[in-house]
Each structure stands twice: as C-alpha cells, then as structure tokens.
Amino acid sequence: MKKRLIALTLVIGSLQVSCTDNFDAINTDPTRASATIFDPNLLLPSTQFSHVSAMAGYSGPILFQSMWVQIFASTSSGAANYYSNADKYVISSNTNSYLASTWNGNYGAASYAYEMEQLTKDKPALANLNNIAKIMQVQCLASIADTYGDLPFTQALQAKGGTTLPVYDSQESAYKGMLSKLETATAALSPATLLPTNDAFPYKGDVAKWKKYGYSLMLKMAMRLTKADPTTAKTYAEKAVAGGVFTSVDDDAYVRADNANGYGNGNGAALSTLADIYQVRWSKTMIDYLKATNDPRLGVIAEVPADGLAANQSIAAPGNTTPAVQLGLPNGYDLNGGATDISKAPGYPGGTGAGADATPIGKYSRPTQVFRDRNAPLFVLTYAEVELLLAEAVTRGFAVGGTAAGHYRNGVVAGIQALSRYGAAATISSAVATAYADANPLVPANALKQINEQYWATTGLLLNFSEAWNNWKRSGFPVLTPVNYVGNFSNGTIPRRQPYPTGEATLNSANYSAAVSKLSGGDTWTSRIYWDK
C-alpha cells in the first residue's frame, strides 16, 4: 500500500457558548478537522488496512487457523510456545489476547467504514464512497460472524449515538441483513458520480471493479449458507452472478502492505521472527496434497533448510526448493523429549547437523522467503475463490452459468497465478498453470471434495488462513485427522469457533450472556455457529 493512512479526530456537535463571543475560536483545537471539511476518502484505506491486519499475523489466524486446518505445523516448544494454540489446541499465556484480535480489529475497521458512511450520507456526489463504506462494513462484520457466531449488528458501531452496550443479533438474521445491505449498496455503485480516491485495493477507485468485488463477496457469503439455508444460498449466489462477479486475476482484492510507513504485512512480520523462522513449517497434510499431483506451487512455496541449527534459524540462508525433497511436518508434535516428541512421529526422517549445530526438524519444509516479505500483499478475496465457488454452485444445481469443470479449471489456474503478487520468485507461468489444470481436471463423482480441497490449498497458500478454515467448516473438506494433545481445550477435535473476547463478559455482560445461552455447548471452541452444519 503506497498511501499513508490518515485517521483524524472529528469534532461532531457544537460547544455551548455563554460568556464570550469568541469562546469557540479560543477553545477549538486548530489541528483537528471538522466534519464539514474532513475528506471521508481518507477513511477508506484505514478501513481496508485495519481489516486485513485483523486477519493476519499475531492478530489471530496465523496463531489459530493456520494449523487448525493443517496448512502450517509447529513443534511449538520453547520460544515458539505461542503456537500451541494452533498446532495442539492448547492454551498459551496470551491466548485470550489473541482470540480477541479478530473481533476488535474488524470492529475497528467497520467503525472507520461507518464514519465514512455518516460523512457521505447527505452528499449525493459522494454516493459511491457511501456505498463502498457499506460494502466494507459487511466485509468486516461477516468476518466476525464467521469466527465467533452471533454478534452485535443492528446496534453495532453506534457508540457516538449513545449505544455502548449493543445487543447481539443472531448470526442468521445478521447474515441476511448483511446480504440485503450488500445487494443494495453494490447495485447503487455508478460511474456517473465521483469515484473514490485513496483506495488501498488495486482498483484505484474503479467503480466497475468495486461492483465486481461487492457481488463476489455476496457469492462467498451465499455459499456459506449451502447447508444452513440452501434456498437463500441459491438466491443470493444467482443474484451475485447476475450482477457480475470477478472475471480474471486482475479483479483480485488485496492490500499491498507498506512496511516503511508502519503498515507492514503481519504474516511477513510473524514469519520473520526468529522462533517462527525455526519452528513454523508446512504441514504434512499440505505438502502431501501438493506432491500427490505434482502441483507447480510446491517448488515456489516450500524449501528444506540447509543442514544444521544455524541454517534452520537463519532468515537469509537459502534452502532447497526441489519439489521431490519437500517434507511436511506432522501436526501435534513437540521438542520436549516425551511421547509426543517429533522423533516419535511415524516416518521421522532424522535431523540434520551435529553437536551444538544439530536440529531434529531440519529436514521438514518451511515457507520460502517470499512469505517473509513485510511489503507482501494481504489477500481479501480472489478470482480463484470465486471460480471454485461457482464450480460448487453448478454442482449443487444453482443457475450461475458455465460448467463445474470449466469453473474448476479457471479456479486452479487463477490460484496458481495469484502467487505472482508475491513477486517474481513466486511467479508461475500461465502455460505451466494451464498445463497443470488440464492434467488434473474435475472428476464429477468427486466434485465437492475436489473443489473444496483446492479451495483449502489455494486460500492456505495465499495465507488467508481464516478463509481456509471457514470453508473447511462449511464443506468438511479436506477430511482432517485432529490432534489430541495432552491438555487441549477442544476435547481432541479441531476448533470450530473462537470464544468471545473476555471483555464482552464483563463490559456487555447481559447481551453476552444472552448470546452464549443460544450456543449449544456454550462459549467454547467447539460450539458450532449458525451456518456450520
């Protein structure tokens, strides 16, 4: 992201004047902008970056979902014990802080979008920005709903108006409300009025691309409901396609980070931490999946470090990217010397190095340097996801056009090509991507499994861990064997939601308690949210 993000304090309302004619002039902070002169376009990148930051790095998903659905794995011992939340479903010292970040970050992002909506609601010339504000609110609030379940929606973001203890809407009603809001806002976008400026997406304010984004978000949300409410899923999926969804990788929604100005990629920052460099590896599940079909992404995303502890802990030492030597780390093991020590894992390959320079995990594949770039993109929604969702929609009988096989092929090619956003080192040619897709076509008898496994791999390799987890919850694919580590918080099952932030129980206790009472199993990691059937 090449623009500075600006969040200025707005002075709304007026001061009471009694004893002097120039009281306002004397007591007004000259460094603050009033609502009448503040440019609401400045809030758009704040919304966008706050959202992607809430879904990346130590804000949560890399510490939870990345390993829950076996994209990454970690021995999570010693300095990297904060990954025990993920790889073993075991509380770490900061778990309560981590689990609140997606909630807090997305409500913060939504509040920027809400302020943008309020500043533009009576200004017809800024109608596009007003509707984009509504679309971004849906993006942020849907992410919260998918992670936690019921949430404040109709009374959310109203603190300035005095509503500081909002009621929780059911996720079902919130989702339907968000879909309706999204439909209205997206349809209202028009090139006839002013285009938004200061856009952190690669759209540069192009309303046609924003329209595609709104309808593509609608498609994704509709497909969340395929089991909970097939009728609504079908209705909104078909509306989305009729409106016009993404048609190429040029439509991908992402934010390019700008580390030099304080807006770095949280995943890149996490994976550049010494403990993460050493202990975060690709899961055996992911590497085995890629190797089974000679997926060309394998030689781009994974490397086996050079021998020895020093090389394994070095961010600069190059590794071996030859696909044949890649080996995924099985989830659920540690370096503690007991029954779950990595050396006890089936097929353990042995370590590398000797003496003080020995490491027991040296032969396992780690992420390549492209994922440690703090200026790398943070993906929101891609053409690959859209095409794979369309492939499933056709399989389910929805009237969205095309064939399941055609959409699947497009999704596979697009998922491979999306990696090029990470730079030349991650770029795979169109010819290679197309050849791979043609060699691995959709098999109708196995369609839902094949589509959703590809969706998991594609979103996982783009480090969109939350999306990979949510689609796994919805589809059941890939079929994963959970970890059952001693002392885990989910009874040896993969977590299906994050508990609400602990502050909700104390600050908004009545509404929190009402929401929890509707959760089968209570406010736990294993309770299922509305659409998770």
What are the domain boundaries of the chain? Answer: 269-371
Q: Give the model's confidence band at 32: pLDDT under 50 very low, under 70 low, under 90 confident, else very high.
A: low
* Mean pLDDT, range 433-462, rounded to an integer: 98
Q: Give the model's confidence band at 37: pLDDT under 50 very low, under 70 low, under 90 confident, else very high.
A: confident
Does a cis peptide bond (omega within 30 degrees of 0) precede residue 346? no
Contact 214, 231 (CB under 8 A): no
Give DSSP secondary structure letters for 45-80. Answer: HHHHHHHHHHTSGGGTGGGTHHHHTTSEEE---GGG
Packing angle of the helix pair 404-418, 383-395 (nearest 10 deg): 160
Q: Bridge partners of 74?
A: 280
Which pLDDT value is given to residue 30?
54
* For residue 104, pLDDT beyond 70: yes
Packing angle of the helix pair 430-439, 404-418 (nearest 10 deg): 140
* For residue 11, pLDDT beyond 80: no
Which pLDDT value is given to residue 9?
36
Q: Give the model's confidence band at 18: pLDDT under 50 very low, under 70 low, under 90 confident, else very high.
A: very low
> Using one digit for the tens of pLDDT, what is the confidence trace for 164-203?
999 999 999 999 999 999 999 999 999 999 999 999 999 9
Which pLDDT value is given to residue 130?
98
Which pLDDT value is given to residue 294?
98
Q: How many other C-beta atoms are found inside a 10 Å radius of the C-beta of residue 526?
A: 17
Contact 48, 255 (CB under 8 A): yes
* For residue 22, pLDDT beyond 70: no
In angstroms, the CA 69 to CA 494 distance is 8
* For residue 34, pLDDT beyond 70: no
SS (H, E, C) 171-214: HHHHHHHHHHHHHHHHHHCCCCCCCCCCCCCCCCCCHHHHHHHH
Query: What are the tokens at 251?
Result: 């439509």
Displacement of CA 69 from its chain's centroid (Å)? 13
Nearest to 409 by CA among 368, 381, 443: 443
Distances (CA, A) of 382 to 131, 268, 389, 467, 513: 21, 20, 11, 11, 37
Average pLDDT for the chain: 94
Least trusted range by pLDDT, from 18-27, 170-179, 311-320: 18-27
* Mean pLDDT, range 202-225, rounded to an integer: 98
Residues near 402 by beta carbon (within 8 Å), at least 6 away in sequence: 390, 394
In angstroms, the CA 185 to CA 314 distance is 48
Share of the chain above pLDDT 70, in %: 93
Nearest to 375 by CA among 203, 251, 458, 260: 260
Distances (CA, A) of 198 to 137, 176, 261, 279, 431: 17, 30, 15, 38, 35
* Mean pLDDT, range 482-500, rounded to an integer: 97
Query: What are the tokens at 292?
Result: 């089974």
Which pLDDT value is given to residue 2?
44
Report pTM. 0.94
* For residue 509, pLDDT beyond 60: yes
SS3 category, 254: strand
Q: Give the model's confidence band at 33: pLDDT under 50 very low, under 70 low, under 90 confident, else very high.
A: low
* For residue 204, pLDDT beyond 80: yes
* For residue 379, pLDDT beyond 50: yes
Return phi, psi of residue 352, to 5°. Answer: -135, 160
Contact 318, 305 (CB under 8 A): no
In angstroms, the CA 83 to CA 66 distance is 10
Which pLDDT value is given to residue 31?
57
In angstroms, the CA 478 to CA 455 distance is 9
Nearest to 204 by CA among 213, 212, 195: 195
* For residue 271, pLDDT beyond 80: yes
Which pLDDT value is given to residue 25?
46
> Using one digit for the tens of pLDDT, what is the confidence trace for 273-282?
999 999 999 9
- Tell me which residue has tokens 């369609």: 447
In angstroms, the CA 523 to CA 533 distance is 17
Which pLDDT value is given to residue 77?
85
SS3 category, 373: coil
Query: What are the tokens at 386?
Result: 């859209």
> Using one digit for the tens of pLDDT, what is the confidence trace for 41-81?
999 999 999 999 999 999 989 999 999 999 999 999 888 89
* Mean pLDDT, range 91-104, rounded to an integer: 95
* Mean pLDDT, range 483-505, rounded to an integer: 97
Amino acid 99 reads: L
In angstroms, the CA 391 to CA 253 distance is 20
Which pLDDT value is given to residue 7?
43
In angstroms, the CA 289 to CA 251 distance is 27
